[in-house]
Amino acid sequence: MRRIAVLRRAKAAIRAFVLEPASARPLAVMRIGIAAALIGEAAVVASHLHDYYGPLGLVQPPVTDALAHWSLPSLPALARALSFTGLTESGAVQAAFAVYVLALHLLLLGCRTRAAAVVSWLLFLAFKKAGSAAAYGGLEFAQIALFYCVVLPVGDALSIDAFRRPRPPSVGARIGLRLLQLHLCVVYLSSGIEKARGDQWWTGEAIWRALMRPGHGDIDFSWLAVHPLVAKLACWGTVTCEIGYSLFVWLKRTRKLWVLAVIGMHLAIAVSLGLVFFSAVMIALNVAAFLVPADAREAIADARQPGVNRSSFDSAIS
């Protein structure tokens, strides 16, 4: 009897965890953050587009093809498809880039959000394939976030689409939010465990080696050699932040502290290692996943303003 009651309670808890309607605001923040970061990255890369993604770029197709999955959309194929317009392959790359940036702006504003997300994602994949040798962690996370923008209801809040046609809190938004949260937990846990398996993260050498890499920032960290304890503490702190993430973000008391610590870690990475885009993407994902309220009741309180379909909100959470 008691066992049945426990099972019932567990089932109800899981149901509430996964299926209770939630506001789409956290997902909307992810959408805005990722689109803004990608627009920034595009602005930086734009004047060197052909170096990284052009047919005669820094890395030639034999290498890029070997590094990318065969099934991903390809820019040369797109160029061939557009050849009837008279565009050269370089011209097609430029045209694709212009459409990609436009789609990112629409995604940022939440205008025709789903279509904008699909176009951004497909062109992102094509550019990533063309520049696969240059695809680092920041771009991997951008790909993940863009995929989530395609499949999750990221346009249901803080968007032009939602302004035109307000959406109630939904089960889809809850499932999407849980997916994002659990994905981040997997990311930090696996990254933390892999770091903890290496000697460099116990001796302080990892931070030392990362900060002393030439060409990644102007700050001189050679003083760490005189104060090795600082390097050691930074290493231990990083591993603790990452491994502890998957536990402490679920506890109400420690959630904010832990997410802020991880955001601090990413800010430090941006400043000291020059990984600005990567850090911006990770900060956007963390803020969206754990710092934006998703409680349906809060969303309703916000939404009880003129022009909002009140009855649909009420029915969604009843």
- Report, in Å, the least distance between residue 306 CB and another protein: 30
Tokens of 128: 């990533």
Segment 109-138, which members bind another protein (CB under 8 A)? 125, 131, 133-138
Q: Is 302 in the site for another protein (CB under 8 A)?
A: no
Q: Is 52 in the site for another protein (CB under 8 A)?
A: yes
The answer to whether 124 touches 143, Cβ cutoff 8 Å, is: yes
Q: Phi then psi for 22, rounded to 5 degrees?
A: -135, 160
Q: Which residue has the tokens 């209801």?
A: 153
Q: Is 237 in the site for another protein (CB under 8 A)?
A: no
- Residue 82 or 202: the one with the smaller Cβ distance to another protein is 202
| 3-state helix/strand/coil string of the chain | CHHHHHHHHHHHHHHHHHHCCECCHHHHHHHHHHHHHHHHHHHHHHHHHHHHHCCCCCCCHHHHHHHCCCCCCCHHHHHHHCHHHCCCHHHHHHHHHHHHHHHHHHHHHCCCHHHHHHHHHHHHHHHHHHCHHHCCHHHHHHHHHHHHHHHCCCCCCCCHHHHHCCCCCEHHHHHHHHHHHHHHHHHHHHHHHHHHCCCHHHHCHHHHHHHCCCCCCCCCCHHHHCCHHHHHHHHHHHHHHHHHHHHHCCCHHHHHHHHHHHHHHHHHHHHHHCCHHHHHHHHHHHHHHHHCCCEHHHHHHHHCCCCCCHHHHHHHHC
Please tell me the distance from the alpha carbon of residue 185 to that of residue 193, in angstroms, as a whole number.
12
Q: Is 220 in the site for another protein (CB under 8 A)?
A: no
Q: Is 264 in the site for another protein (CB under 8 A)?
A: no
Candidate ranges 63-71, 75-83, 112-120, 310-318; the one touching another protein (CB under 8 A) = 63-71
Q: Is 228 in the site for another protein (CB under 8 A)?
A: yes
Candidate ranges 77-85, 92-100, 109-117, 178-186; the one touching another protein (CB under 8 A) = 178-186
CA dihedral 191, 192, 198, 203 (to 10 degrees): 130
- Out of 213, 256, 297, 310, the only residue in the binding site for another protein (CB under 8 A) is 213
- Out of 105, 112, 183, 255, the only residue in the binding site for another protein (CB under 8 A) is 183
- Residue 72 or 301: the one with the smaller Cβ distance to another protein is 72
Candidate ranges 52-60, 96-104, 258-266, 285-293; the one touching another protein (CB under 8 A) = 52-60
Candidate ranges 111-119, 156-164, 183-191, 258-266; the one touching another protein (CB under 8 A) = 183-191
Q: Is 156 in the site for another protein (CB under 8 A)?
A: no
Residue 213, number of CB atoms within 10 A of its CB = 11
- Out of 72, 77, 257, 301, the only residue in the binding site for another protein (CB under 8 A) is 72
Candidate ranges 64-72, 106-114, 247-255, 294-302; the one touching another protein (CB under 8 A) = 64-72
- Out of 46, 81, 225, 247, the only residue in the binding site for another protein (CB under 8 A) is 225
- Report, in Å, the least distance between residue 203 CB and another protein: 8
- Residue 45 or 160: the one with the smaller Cβ distance to another protein is 45
- Residue 102 or 316: the one with the smaller Cβ distance to another protein is 316
- Out of 36, 59, 160, 316, the only residue in the binding site for another protein (CB under 8 A) is 59
Q: Is 33 in the site for another protein (CB under 8 A)?
A: no
- Out of 9, 80, 209, 256, the only residue in the binding site for another protein (CB under 8 A) is 209
Q: Is 157 in the site for another protein (CB under 8 A)?
A: no
